[in-house]
Homo-oligomer: A and B are copies of this chain.
Amino acid sequence: MTDSLSKLKSIYHRVSDIKNAAAVLDWDQETYMPPGSGNARAHQSTTLETLAHEIATSNELGDLLHSLHDYALEQPEHSNDRRLIEVGLEDYEKNSKLSPELVGKIAGAVSRAKDAWRDARAENNFKAFAPHLTDLIELNREKAEAFGYSEHLYDALLDEYEPGLTAGRLDSIFDPLRSELVSLVDTIADAPEVDTSILRRTYPHQQQWDFGVDIITSFGYDFNRGRQDLSAHPFTINFSIDDVRITTRIDENFFNPGFFGTLHEAGHGLYEQGIDHSLARLPLARGTSLGIHESQSRFWENLVGRSRPFWVGHFDKLRSYFPGLPASATPESFYRAVNAVNRSFIRVEADELTYNLHIMLRYELEKSIFEGTVAVDDLPDAWNQKMHDYLELTPPSNDKGVLQDIHWALGAFGYFPTYAIGNLMSTQLYDALKKDIPGTEELIEKGSFDDILDWMKQKIHRHGRKMTAEDLMISATGSSLDSSSWLRYARTKYADIYGL
């Protein structure tokens, strides 16, 4: 058995090395690659992905995994070896359900759709994108059928990003949350506006960069095992537990994108840097679901970075990086500014409160598409109707509406809900953290994040994929995914800020 096990591991090491190399190619493409080399890079990425997929679906791997199944059951329940074989079998069976033809067709359709989407958005021309969207929906339907599902076809798509989550479960969480949110946003719209002018002044590039690096270093992001670069769209990517990179973008006339983007990506980065080294080069060595991942980014971005204790404790530091801030600015005024609620068209610019409504809109449309109750051609109207219902806004054009996100062009249906799930999880985790460490808010104010990061590492990070999202939530917080904690958090916070 130990021979089979070490053979299994050596196959996984190879797959992991190839996938991580492919990730380096992606990182390079988004940061430093010269513009003229896109064609060659596409070939290189495809070759590495194909190689990894060939090995991950090989009979050799399947036979090994099946031969080790009984051995796995004899191992302690949470042992690395047992979980490796269990998760390995799940992955193998899932991967093997997709024919290479379908994988190839999806890759081709995505590659065409991405370019079409960029043009369509630039030209505000939904009709030009619609045929590509139709193809991708059809291919995703095929994929979902191949994977199989018990209730909704959409469940098979969700499972790709948030294993185990279903549309039924999501509906039961989102339905009550939506009406609460719509009414809370409505109430806030009637309250006196928060002054956000402090955020819209000149924040020089280098000082923004340095301030962000200062703060995430204090969070515990390890620049010895990571780095930050600039890119058009911020992202986190990891090539190993010891090489987890983040990117940011900086707008010299607006404080939020750079600073909160940096905190957000650092949150993702801390998760991947915190995975136990015993899982290295194995399929267990990454975040267990996108929801859990987003809970980490949102925790550091919002629950820490948009908290009153944080700004009380760090306002002097902010001023030292930006000495031109007006003397009238205070920790409280800055805290309120970065938490202002505004109905707006664009998801990535949305505040913490309206953000979840943007997500629910997308989730509902995705579900309708796969249920066949909304046709592709009717998507723009359906989108605008929901914007009107939830945010009392009507997008002036599709580039500010249905065309704004790249996700569908990437063939990623079922991805959006994980953003909202991450928000909900983040406050559930925060409640548990504050129970375990009653002085958490003082620590945030002091900028002393070691104990907080350590708690998160013990409860979440180190486990990688050894535990499912559901198991993590129960073991860390005592309960499953649930919206009550987040709603309590949101009601309290905005009642205070807006004097409701």
Q: Which residues of A contact B (CB under 8 A)?
A: 13-14, 17-18, 20-22, 24-25, 28, 32-37, 39-41, 43-44, 46-48, 51, 222-227, 229, 239-243, 245, 280-281
Q: How far is the CA of A280 from the CA of B37 in the complex (A)?
A: 12
The docked-state distance in angstroms from the alpha carbon of A227 to that of B37 is: 11
Pair A20/B44 contact, Cβ less than 8 Å: yes
Cα–Cα distance between A39 and B277 once the two chains are bound (Å) = 12
The 27 listed contacts between A and B (C-beta, < 8 Å) are A13-B47, A14-B51, A17-B46, A17-B48, A18-B47, A21-B22, A21-B47, A24-B28, A32-B32, A33-B243, A34-B224, A34-B226, A34-B245, A35-B224, A36-B222, A36-B224, A36-B225, A37-B239, A37-B242, A37-B243, A40-B242, A40-B243, A40-B280, A40-B281, A41-B243, A44-B239, A44-B240
B37 & A17 in contact (Cβ 8 Å cutoff): no
Assess whether A40 is in contact with B25, with CB atoms less than 8 Å apart: no
Q: Which residues of B lie under 8 Å from residue A223 when comparing CB positions?
A: 34
Q: Kindly list chain B residues whose C-beta atoms are within 8 Å of the C-beta of A281.
A: 40, 43
Q: Are B40 and A240 in contact (CB under 8 A)?
A: yes
CA distance A280 to B36 in the complex (A): 14
Known contacts A21-B24, A24-B24, A33-B243; 18 further A-B pairs (Cβ under 8 A):
A13-B43, A14-B47, A14-B51, A18-B48, A24-B25, A24-B28, A34-B224, A34-B226, A34-B242, A34-B243, A36-B243, A37-B240, A37-B243, A40-B242, A41-B240, A43-B281, A44-B239, A51-B51
Interface contact B34-A21, CB-CB below 8 Å: no
Min CB–CB distance A46 → chain B (angstroms)? 8
How near does chain B come to A425, taking the closest CB pair, in angstroms?
Answer: 29
State the CA gap A41–B222 with chains docked (Å).
17
A43 to chain B: closest residue by CB: B17
In contact, A44 and B17 (Cβ under 8 angstroms):
yes
